[in-house]
A and B are shown apart, each in its own frame.
Chain A
Amino acid sequence: MHVDGTEKKWVILSVAMAFAMVGILTAYAINHNIVPPSNVETIDSVSLHLSAEFAEDKLGLRQTEDGSLVVTMVAARYGFYPQDMKVPVGTPITFRIASADVLHGVHTAGTNMNTMVVPGYVSEITTTFPKTGKFPMFCNEYCGLGHDYMWSRLWVVPKDEIKLGDTL
């Protein structure tokens, strides 16, 4: 087998580059605690309205007993509920989202709040919004002919503007 000297160097360099990329990404992810939404938690999408967590009057921003903030949301053709929500700036917020029907996605454009919403499973994603402002929340997965109409707004506001409801 013939191996050219330059080619051998290039192969070594390629392997080194691949491992370096994985290394940098891993170090960055660990350092900034970046974990994609991966909670592997099932739910019966047919009876969300009867569940303790996703019934209509339970949706929205809440504070748990340990003080952390949780947003409970339902994605259903063709909207996110509750719509036009307010959340505080600079605070870690955990979104828990379930689909009442088909596959959806939610992306708060301009932020890293981006997850699929799969019927039968609960999506959970924790993030902190660094800037105040009005952000669109787009459904980013084709969910039927009304998909274009599925979006809402998220208001990131100063912390003192938020009045929290009941604790979970």
Chain B
Amino acid sequence: MTTQVMDSKAGRLSLANIWIAFITFLLASLMGVYQVAERSGFFPQIEVIELYFRSVSSHGVIMGFVLTTFFIMGFGYWIARSTLHIPLWGGDKLGWLGFLISLGGTAMAAIMLFIGKASVMYTFYPPLMAHPVFYIGASLLVVGSWVWCLQMIMTMSSWKKQNPGSPVPLAMYAMTANSILWFITSLGVASEVLFQLIPWSLGWIDTIDVGLARTLFSWTLHAIVYFWLIPAYIAFYTLVPKAAGGALFSDEFSRIAILMLLVFSVPIGMHHLYVDPMQSDGWKFVHMIGTFMVAIPTLITGFTVIASMEVAGRLRGGKGLFGWIKALNWDNPMVLAGGLSLLMLTVGGWGGLVNAAYSMDVAVHNTQWITGHFHLIFAGTTVIMYFAIAYYMWPSLTGRPLYSIKMARLQLWLWFIGMLVLTLPWHILGLIGQPRRIGAPPYSEEFTAPWVPYETAMLVGGVILFISALLLIINLFFSHFQNKAVQRPVMEYAQPLHPVLKLPGLLNGFGFWTAVIAVYMVASYGYPIVQFFLMETHGTFPWSI
């Protein structure tokens, strides 16, 4: 059966998704360089504020919605094939339908962004109003990804029917968790767009309740980060230990961590609204407690991954307390990316504890600290694993060897260095008061003079990151379109140190957990949403940018 699903056609759906992800990623990286140059204030000749906010909006939408959604769909399809060895539920045809819906939506949104009709940031920010085609396009991108969610869930479910009592392979289990997470969390933004933004932008309703819109968006805004992050965790659990020549320390605890992320991450979005006036401090406090609970699965993951790496290092002959670190094969892109990613997660996670704290957030809210934080956690920790996953999957997807491992190593190092050079100064800029989402503002020099050295660093970081992005595309392109064919290697996943023969149903399915999330969601978001229909509110008319 393995050969049947690994034929040359099998990878096409995944490849199409991943190429869309990375081509748009390169474009958005170019925008990133332009933005740091403009923002630094060193090049007054390129300062066109209209273009800058067009670019910031496009960069955010592409990196946050397009790169992630397409990459995760492509990775998910490949995991389903290579772990379950059964055809996708609904077949590849249904997958292509979802792909085309998402692609069409992306194109609609992109056109509006590029012609400057949607410079409203990826967070939409009503009552600023974008062109209706932008909102409709963004919805279609999400609707297309729901097809993928359905295929992940149903494919896992049909495999379970064919293999009663067998544990679902961890990678597939976690990817299915991710599709459930994405479906539930996207309902918030979907409600905002379908019931508020689209009717309002088409003129069917006159005003919009911005408080309700922000609350619905916050429902999506935090768990979406875990939708992006879980694929990186899948690589931590199943690919990094394999590439290092070791085993997964604990399959069960990996599942527990994934389930905790699934349950804890959705009902906590209100920490994005700590300083918003339309929610009371009690609800904010409840969401803070929930936010800190996410530290638990994160810490468990850290343990499992490091323990798995230690197993590999000791198998390679590493001795002593830290000798195993040196013994690891750091020249392997997956191992290297895993190490660099964990370092960035440690620094970024620490910063996140500050934003997550109800009592400390006011010092950094909406400053450049926040931009530094999510670039480190998302663009650093998460996206560096997307690169490593792509390098790892590429030979099995394309039937061609990787063009240059050396270039891949250089690319990962540059991404890590560039990300630190970019984001550490951003944290400092935030602490000394620089707001996020500004261009090169005409504030009085007495306030901006201390910013200069950090803005210089940011510029250097941006350029390094763009070079790294280019190297990624060059390497993947030359790998894919070279003449040197190899026999498609089988995708290999790390096996647990202690083989899992039987699992409790709770660690092998999602029915119970989905019910838990539903109850938890109603408890934590029910009243905060219903309140808008109970009190007298005043809607806001649309404003152009």
Given known contacts A115-B275, A136-B444, A145-B49, A11 and B300 CB-to-CB distance under 8 angstroms = yes
Given A7-B253, A120-B210, residue A142 in contact with residue B125 (CB < 8 A): yes
| Residues of chain A in range 104-133 having any CB-CB distance to chain B below 8 Å | 105, 107, 109-110, 112-125
Cβ contact of B359, chosen from A3, A25, A46, A107, cutoff 8 A: A25
B537 at the interface (CB under 8 A from A): yes
Q: What's the Cα separation between A115 and B366 when bound, in Å?
A: 9
A-B contact count (CB 8 A): 212
Assess the B277–A1 pair: CB atoms within 8 A.
Answer: no
Q: Is the CB of B365 within 8 A of A107?
A: yes
By a CB distance below 8 angstroms, the chain B residues around A101 are 127, 543
* B518 interfacial by beta-carbon distance below 8 Å: no
Say yes or no for B161: interface residue by CB 8 A criterion: no
- CA distance in complex: A118, B210 (Å): 7
C-alpha spacing A157/B332, complex, angstroms: 60
Of the stretches B140-148, B320-328, B399-407, B435-443, the one at the interface is B435-443
- Asked whether, in the complex, the Cβ of B296 is within 8 Å of the Cβ of A14, the reply is yes
Please determine whether A7 and B250 come into contact, CB atoms closer than 8 angstroms. yes
Chain A residues in 8 Å Cβ range of B360 = 25
Give CA–CA (A123, B279) in the complex, Å: 11
A114 with B275, Cβ < 8 A, contacts A102-B128, A120-B537 known: yes
Residues of B281-325 whose CB lies within 8 A of A? 281, 284-285, 288-289, 292-293, 295-296, 299-300, 303-304, 307
Contact of B277 among A38, A45, A134, A138 (CB under 8 A): A38
Q: Mark A122-159, 1 if CB is under 8 A from B, else 0.
A: 11110000000010101111111101110101000000
B356-375 contacts to A (CB < 8 Å): 357-363, 365-367
Q: Once bound together, how far apart are the Cα atoms of A54 and B453, in whole Å?
A: 41
Complex interface: chain A residues within 8 A of B504 (CB): 1
A161 to chain B, nearest CB (A): 21
Q: Enumerate chain A residues within 8 angstroms of B253, measured Cβ to Cβ.
A: 3, 7, 11
In chain A, what residue has the closest Cβ to B282?
A38
A 1-34 binary contact with B (CB < 8 Å = 1; else 0)? 1111011001101110111011001101100101
The reply to whether A15 and B209 contact each other, CB–CB distance below 8 Å, is no
- Of B277, B307, B438, B443, which contacts A118 at CB under 8 A? B277
Determine which of A109, A123, A149 lies in contact with B433 in the assembled complex, contact meaning CB atoms within 8 Å.
Answer: A109
- Interface membership of B484, Cβ < 8 A: no
B249-A4 in contact (CB<8A): yes
Q: Which of B299, B440, B531, B544 lies in contact with A40, CB distance below 8 A?
A: B531
Q: How far is the CA of A103 from the CA of B434 in the complex (A)?
A: 19
Query: Which residues of chain B come closer than 8 Å to A109, judged between CB atoms?
Result: 367, 432-434, 447
Determine whether B353 belongs to the interface, using a CB cutoff of 8 Å to chain A.
yes
**With A114-B365, A120-B539, A145-B53 in contact, is A21–B438 under 8 Å at CB?**
no
Q: State the Cβ distance, A78 to closest chain B Cβ, in Å.
A: 11
Which residues from A are CB-within-8-Å of B292?
A: 18-19, 21-22
Asked if A42 CB lies within 8 Å of chain B CBs, one says yes
Pick from B128, B277, B359, B447: contact of A116, CB below 8 A: B277
Which chain B residues border A37 with CB–CB below 8 Å? 275-277
Q: Give the distance to chain B from A158, nearest Cβ to Cβ, in Å.
A: 21
Query: B538 at interface (Cβ–Cβ under 8 A)?
Result: yes
**In residues 390-443 of chain B, which contact A (Cβ within 8 Å)?**
432-443
Contact B281 A36 (CB under 8 A): yes
Q: Is the CB–CB distance between A7 and B437 below 8 Å?
A: no
A107-B433, A151-B443 known; A144+B358 contact, CB < 8 A: no
Q: Is the CB of A139 within 8 A of B210?
A: no
Interface magnitude class on chain A: 35 or more
Is A41 part of the contact surface with B, judged by Cβ < 8 Å?
A: yes
Question: Judging by beta carbons under 8 Å apart, are B295 and A21 in contact?
Answer: yes
Number of interface residues of B (CB under 8 A): 81
Specify which of B289, B438, B442, B538 is in contact with A22 (CB 8 Å cutoff): B289
- A167 → B minimal CB distance (Å): 25
Contact of B442 (CB < 8 Å), options: A3, A118, A149: A149
Is A43 on the interface with B (CB-CB < 8 A)? yes
Contacts A110-B433, A112-B363 given; does A148 touch B439 at CB 8 Å: yes
Residue of A nearest to B503 (CB): A1
Contact (Cβ within 8 A) A10 B299: yes
Most chain A beta-carbon contacts within 10 A, residue among B126, B279, B358, B366: B366
Contact residues in A for B192 (Cβ distance below 8 Å): none
B191 CB-CB contact with A under 8 Å: no
Asked whether any CB of chain B lies closer than 8 Å to the CB of A50, the reply is no
> Is B19 an interface position by the 8 A CB rule?
no
Is A138's CB under 8 angstroms from B537's CB?
no
* Distance of A165 Cα from B482 Cα, bound (Å): 78
| B252 in contact with A1 (CB, 8 Å) | yes
Complex CA distance for A58 and B436, rounded to whole angstroms: 31
On chain B, the residues within 8 Å of A18 by CB distance are: 292-293, 295-296, 299
CA distance A35 to B281 in the complex (A): 7
Q: Are A10 and B365 in contact (CB under 8 A)?
A: no
Cβ of A57 to closest chain B Cβ, rounded Å: 22
Contact indicator A102/B277 (Cβ below 8 Å): no
Residues A120 and B280 in contact, CB atoms below 8 Å apart? no
Q: For the complex, what is the distance from the CA of A115 to the CA of B515, rounded to whole Å?
A: 36
Does B366 lie within 8 Å of A140, measured CB to CB? yes
CB pair B299 A14 closer than 8 Å? yes
Contact status A2-B367, CB under 8 Å: no
Binary flags per residue of B432-464, CB closer than 8 Å to A gives 1, else 0: 111111111111101100000000000000000
Q: Which 8 A-B pairs have the closest CB atoms?
A: A109-B433, A148-B441, A14-B299, A140-B366, A140-B435, A38-B281, A29-B359, A44-B538
15 contacting pairs across A/B (C-beta < 8 A): A1-B503, A3-B250, A7-B307, A15-B296, A32-B359, A36-B275, A36-B358, A43-B538, A46-B538, A103-B128, A116-B277, A118-B278, A136-B447, A139-B435, A142-B125
- 7 further A-B contacts with Cβ under 8 Å, apart from A2-B500, A37-B277, are A21-B292, A28-B359, A45-B538, A103-B126, A113-B362, A139-B435, A148-B439
Residues of A that sit less than 8 Å from B by CB: 1-4, 6-7, 10-11, 13-15, 17-19, 21-22, 25-26, 28-29, 32, 34-46, 77, 101-103, 105, 107, 109-110, 112-125, 134, 136, 138-145, 147-149, 151, 153
